[in-house]
Amino acid sequence: MKTFLFCVLVLLAILIGAYLYRVLQGPTIFDRLLGHNGISTKAIILLLVIGIYFERVDMFIDISIGYALLNLVGALALAKYLEQKETL
Amino acid sequence: MQILSVIFISVGLFFLIVAAIGVIRLPDVFSRSHAVSLTDSLGAFLMLVGIALHEGLGTNMLKILIVLALLYILNPVIAHATIRAALRSGLKPWEKENS
Amino acid sequence: MATRSRPVSSEFLFFKAMALFVFWIFLSASFEWVHLGLGLIFSFVVAWLNSGHSPFVPKFRLWLRVLLYLPWLFYKIVQSSLNLSKLILHPELPITPQLIPVKSKLRHHAAVVLFGNSITLTPGTITAEVDGNNLIIHSMDKSDDAAIKEIESKIADIFKDEEPDL
């Protein structure tokens, strides 16, 4: 079980790298915003898997709830701000 | 129970990989957002159900289900806000040239 | 304190406070008297502070129907996820992205919210703009048109007994 969870962690990190490529490369700023959103969803899952890897789910789960709520506020504020800008 | 959770996590991981390939391959913002929403809906659901099955019954399982409900409520809002901002700032969706 | 636009029923305040208290118990997961008492006090305070702005009365039959709608929506999500995965993994990328303007026949604010949320949650279609009951939907495949119609008729069926307010 431990090795399986370790493989899952490594794969999730590689997937975050794929989204990071989109954040760095993206032609428009909305691509970067989208990549940010994808990274934060992955980070929530990553925190939970780290929790069962170290057998301290009760601690990591509170962090992931807080992260999900903060992510909503940040992404929504950025999208509302960019909506008002005329030029990119 | 352990085997079931391993199966769920593996299938969820498959959908996450497909979504990451889509985010790199697809041509513009509008179609990439579909790939991100694929991750959010099915991939995260399967991963979190696998983790909850690994934990077994208890308060931890309930909290994982709360995280899942939060993801299902909040992610459409974020995706819609991003796409609306892209549309209002004047981006045109990509179309096939030969059609 | 802000002015209250409508009188608040004490039953509704009690109901809201109890819902918040159950949520507190889920989050804190401890059953000591200090924590439970603090949670009870805070849930009543939050329910009282929020009560001025809600034109909202509990409709249990409607909520039950929405709850029964969710498994069907999940079935649609699985179906269209598999379809979209096939499109992404196809070597020639046979996608036909398009913007579809939809004028829905829904007559409730809550119904339009539920409609837009269901469309965005289904992979392959996403709501790009909402104004009243005119929606602009970005879709990935030609066959998504029928799925949108199906979701709309299902939601119109849920809200058929309510007073129209749009």
Structure token pair of residue C108: 């409730």
Instruction: Among A7-21, B79-93, C110-124, name the most confident range.
Output: A7-21
Q: What tokens were used for B54?
A: 């690994």
Structural domain boundaries of chain C?
10-53, 60-158
Structure tokens at C48: 């009282």
- C3 pLDDT exceeds 60? no
- The whole-number pLDDT of residue C6 equals 52
Whether residue C27 lies within 8 A of chain A, CB to CB, comes out as yes
Structure tokens at C99: 């913007």
> What is the mean predicted confidence (pLDDT) over C30-54?
82
Residue B53: name the closest of B12, B6, B7, B5 by CA. B5
Which tens digits make up the pLDDT trace of A36-84? Answer: 888 988 899 999 999 989 888 888 888 888 888 888 888 888 888 888 7
Q: B11 to chain A: nearest residue by CA?
A: A8
Partner C contacted by B8 (CB < 8 A): no
Residue B59: list chain A partners with CB under 8 A.
58
All residues of chain C having their beta carbon less than 8 Å from the beta carbon of residue A62 are 27
Q: Do C140 and B72 touch (CB under 8 A)?
A: no
The listed range with the strongest mean pLDDT (A41-45, C2-6, C59-63) is: A41-45
Are the beta carbons of C131 and C116 closer than 8 angstroms? no
Biggest CA-to-CA distance, chain B = 57
Which is more confident, B97 or B13? B13
Q: Are B51 and A52 in contact (CB under 8 A)?
A: yes
A49 vs C133 pLDDT, higher one: A49
pLDDT in tens, C93-126: 777 888 888 888 888 888 888 888 888 888 888 8
Q: Which residues, 6 or more positions from B40, have their beta carbon under 8 angstroms from its beta carbon?
A: A41, B71, B75, B79
CB pairs < 8 Å spanning A and B: 126
Check whether C69 has a pLDDT greater than 50.
yes
pLDDT at A10: 92
Tell me, what's the pLDDT at A85?
62
pLDDT band for position B89 (50/70/90)? confident
Tell me which chain C residues have a C-beta less than 8 angstroms from the C-beta of A58.
Answer: 29
pLDDT of C10 over the 80 cut: no
The answer to whether the CB of A22 falls within 8 A of the CB of B23 is: yes
C134-139 vs C98-103, strand pairing mode:
antiparallel
pLDDT of residue C54: 54
Strand partners, C136: C101, C129
For a pLDDT cut of 70, what percent of chain B falls above it?
A: 96
The Cα–Cα gap between B96 and C36 comes to: 60
pLDDT score at C2:
47
Residue window 22-81, chain C: list those with CB within 8 Å of chain B: 26-27, 29, 77-78, 81
Distance CA C68, CA C71 (A): 7
> What letter would DSSP give residue B93?
P
Answer yes or no: is pLDDT of C59 > 80. Answer: no
Residue C161 predicted with pLDDT over 80 = no
Region C56-84 average pLDDT: 84
Query: What is the value of ipTM here, to two decimals?
Result: 0.84
How many whole angstroms separate alpha carbon C115 and alpha carbon C68? 15
Distance from B2 to chain C by nearest Cα, in Å? 24
**Residue keyed to tokens 């929606």:** C135
Can you give the pLDDT at residue C15?
Answer: 81
